[in-house]
Structure 1
């Protein structure tokens, strides 16, 4: 795992020509079940000749995973626009936003002495001032660090922080234009607002638990990444979203841009898998607007 963090790892946050090559998981007309063995979907419409694709990401994954997905690569390279949750813009990266703050967190109120020492060592070579991170941001970072370094044994040479960021790198190689649905500032504000009012003791417990998991290097705690790798997803299309702030409201806000772009471009839409799921998800919302959504196997 290497006890310290590079600039790339610490960024913290924050998704026609080839159609005959695909093996379809379901028929062209509709999704017939909520459980599907894929995270890739073809989007078509009777009132447009454009073909787009939805890809549900898990942010902790990266290069080694994406490079195995032949059909996903083909869909991306045939697209004109990549739509992702946010774009990495110089001056507006998570580290830039955090470092500009004037308020510091008193970590002695949240971390035991040995836990604070662990965090200091982890951030020793980082360009981010972790003293200016909130407890929520620290937990999000440590959880992703656990998933990447313990569960996925992520290659230190992987140039991307997240699967979404690696997809953006591949898109640039194919001269695919990039479009961000929201800013990094908005994302950071949302993750903090989502747990607004959480008692300090809960923050302490969450941070202590995730640090213990990282130290243990025990992959028995990797159910989340294993579930995504297995790719047997119950999308629960008829269930309401349980988080209005992080799912329902964002999906509703994104739909205007998504529909406008897919009407005039062949798009590849890469967003967190949960944004495709449930009644408020992008899949159901596109279906409600008369788009045909067809599941696609990620490999031939």
Structure 2
């Protein structure tokens, strides 16, 4: 889906089994590894109701996640999100700025003026998170750490080898710098004007995820794919980059790879890309 990384899916003609956990074998691997699709705002108590995922994770010798927070890079990342030569109120008409400001305050509790110098994609991401969290009561039933963070931190406690597929700087570059701020601003307005679609997606995606319905999530994206501008590069380009690293990591040890679920499906998804490399990829 559009607007934020963990709500993106690719348009695909491939049908997928109802599974978020996939076994990766063959292509010279002595032991299988696993590919698991996460939901970034889901808490780790979710694993109590999904013993297959818990078992695959605990049995792996290595853990791979998208990225980890690097405190030494936080200042640099904050600067990357700034607009030094313009501001949001200059990029938008007075009417559009008020539209966004009113919605932003209602959904996040913050005054948009506080983010006037931030690139519009930052505001869009915050707003999207607010939609996802407020539209799904189900999420509040889970406790603990965000599930991706859990795999990395718990993996280290268990003395697993923990690796990332990209640095914070690489991830933020995709988010902040791929599109000019003018285009980001227009997409922000489109998102607010199309908030009814956002409400529907935010509520439905949680239900579909908990059903492990990868195909249903893809279909939901297909329905709304033209609503908020093309941001499939956040999936396509990153998947291609990750495939330069994943095979080498799998070759070293049995590994549990945890990435956003919506990186899995589609012709450019990790499932198909791994198959093209000669791996056998099976739903669990």
After TM superposition, the score normalised by the length of structure 2 is: 0.73
Q: CA separation of 1:262/1:150 partners in 2, compared to 1, >3 Å: closer, same or farther?
A: same
**Matching residue within 98, 105, 108 for 2:78:** 98
Q: What corresponds to 1:279 in structure 2? A: 267
Query: Shift of the alpha carbon at 1:175?
Result: 2.1
CA distance in 1, matches of 2:156, 2:213: 30
Query: Shift of the alpha carbon at 1:153?
Result: 5.2
Q: Is the 8 A contact 2:88 2:185 kept in 1?
A: no
**Matching residue within 53, 77, 80 for 2:34:** 53
CA distance in 1, matches of 2:283, 2:126: 32
Q: Is the 8 A contact 1:54 1:268 kept in 2?
A: yes
Q: What corresponds to 2:225 in structure 1? A: none
Q: Is the 8 A contact 1:13 1:184 kept in 2?
A: no
Q: What corresponds to 2:62 in structure 1? A: 81
**Matching residue within 248, 253, 273 for 1:265:** 253
Listed one character per residue, the Cα deviations across residues 176-232 of structure 1 (whole Å, up to 9, x for unaligned) are: 22211112222222123454342745423424665x999xxx779512222222222
State the superposition RMSD in angstroms: 3.6
Q: What corresponds to 2:223 in structure 1? A: none
CA distance in 1, matches of 2:128, 2:264: 22
Query: Shift of the alpha carbon at 1:131?
Result: 4.4
CA distance in 2, matches of 1:98, 1:144: 18
Are 2:181 and 1:186 aligned? Answer: no
**Matching residue within 128, 133, 138 for 2:118:** 133
Greater mean alpha carbon deviation, residues 72-81 or residues 165-174: 165-174
Query: Shift of the alpha carbon at 1:270?
Result: 0.8
Runs of 5+ unmatched residues, structure 2: 7-13, 219-229
Query: Shift of the alpha carbon at 1:157?
Result: 9.3
How many residue pairs get aligned? The number is 252
CA distance in 1, matches of 2:185, 2:29: 52
Secondary structure of 1:286's counterpart equals: helix
Q: Is the 8 A contact 2:214 2:265 kept in 1?
A: no
Runs of 5+ unmatched residues, structure 1: 1-11, 15-32, 237-241
Query: Shift of the alpha carbon at 1:40?
Result: 0.2
CA distance in 2, matches of 1:66, 1:92: 31
Q: CA separation of 1:266/1:116 partners in 2, compared to 1, >3 Å: closer, same or farther?
A: closer
Secondary structure of 2:49's counterpart equals: coil
Q: CA separation of 1:206/1:34 partners in 2, compared to 1, >3 Å: closer, same or farther?
A: closer
Q: Is the 8 A contact 1:276 1:282 kept in 2?
A: yes
More helix by share: 2
Q: What corresponds to 1:174 in structure 2? A: 158
Q: CA separation of 1:244/1:223 partners in 2, compared to 1, >3 Å: closer, same or farther?
A: closer
**Matching residue within 173, 191, 197 for 1:206:** 191
Listed one character per residue, the Cα deviations across residues 230-278 of structure 1 (whole Å, up to 9, x for unaligned) are: 2222298xxxxx8662223222211121100101111111111222111
Greater mean alpha carbon deviation, residues 59-68 or residues 107-116: 107-116
